[in-house]
Copies of this chain bind each other. A is one copy, B any other.
Amino acid sequence: MSMHSPIGIFDSGLGGLTVCRAIEAAFPGEDLIYVGDTARVPYGVKTAETVTRYSEEICDFLLQQGVKAIVVACNTASALALPKLKGKYSLPLLGVLEPGVEAALRSCRDGQVGVIGTEATIRSESYPQALQRRSPQIKVFSQACPLFVPLVEEGWIDHPVTRTVAEIYLGPWKNLEVDSVILGCTHYPLLKSVLQQTLGSEVVWVDSALETAKSLGDLLRNQNLLNPRDQGGSRQYYATDAPQKMQVLAQSFLGHSLGEVEVIHLN
């Protein structure tokens, strides 16, 4: 393991490619290995025990590939599994939760932060706990939005149905002074325009992908693990199942086509 080793990134499916995209934009010289657990997607409706077991299997695989650090590019796994993963593995491990929390606290003016995520992420209360650990006075509003991921995967990004669903989930926040909302699921940045229509354009939408790329840079720099190369990093994509729509959806998450994806079995 050295500064020339690759960075491992994983998610329950394809959403984590938004994190990949932010990392490759910030550090084009880094070699990246991405694992999408498409055979067992989604994690957001499952228990901490199951999500942790699946995350460990993926980390074991990434370690076999010789990664120098692992980014848990899935909010549910970051909320439910990361503390246990940090106890088990000695390499640098970074989730998307802490970077999102830091950014929300920076941008929040009136001490009220909103968090939206999957059922499991919201139920875990990881976001309110992390926010209040850093800023005990802060008021946190949480809302699970279980239909957002299926709507994105259906391709209904800017669609009347999606606008109605957003209105149902977030309408009650209109009269509150929520000025900063954490997009606590990697699919949600794709819905930013619909969300802005619902809560207005003055709200700051915290995209954890961008924040995670910044935090990863700091983490690698501090440990002298940043690749000195500033371009030409390689990309390797693994998935546990290869649904047809993977290639189609990848374009919207990653901003470019996925190329070859190798299918792996993790159990």
Chain B residues with Cβ under 8 A from A91's Cβ? none
Interface string of A63-102 (1 = CB under 8 A from B): 0000000000000000000000000000000000000000
Q: Is the CB of A160 within 8 A of B164?
A: yes
Which residue of B has the minimal Cβ distance to A40?
Answer: B40
- State whether the Cβ of A244 lies closer than 8 Å to any Cβ in chain B: yes
Q: Is the CB of B146 within 8 A of A150?
A: yes
- Oligomeric state, in number of copies? 2
- State whether the Cβ of A242 lies closer than 8 Å to any Cβ in chain B: yes
- State whether the Cβ of A267 lies closer than 8 Å to any Cβ in chain B: yes
Which range holds the interface residue count of chain A? Answer: 20 to 34
- State whether the Cβ of A204 lies closer than 8 Å to any Cβ in chain B: no
Q: Is the CB of B147 within 8 A of A154?
A: yes
Which residue of B has the minimal Cβ distance to A266?
Answer: B267
- State whether the Cβ of A243 lies closer than 8 Å to any Cβ in chain B: yes
- State whether the Cβ of A161 lies closer than 8 Å to any Cβ in chain B: yes
Q: Is the CB of B41 within 8 A of A45?
A: yes
Pick the contact of A243: B41, B47, B153, B165 (CB < 8 A). B47
The residues in A between 158 and 182 inclusive whose CB is less than 8 angstroms from any CB of B are: 160-161, 164-165, 168
Chain B residues with Cβ under 8 A from A46's Cβ? 38-39, 241, 243
Interface string of A22-60 (1 = CB under 8 A from B): 000000000000000011110001110110000000000
14 contacts between A and B (CB under 8 A): A38-B46, A39-B50, A45-B153, A45-B243, A46-B241, A47-B241, A47-B243, A49-B241, A50-B241, A119-B245, A123-B244, A146-B153, A146-B154, A161-B165
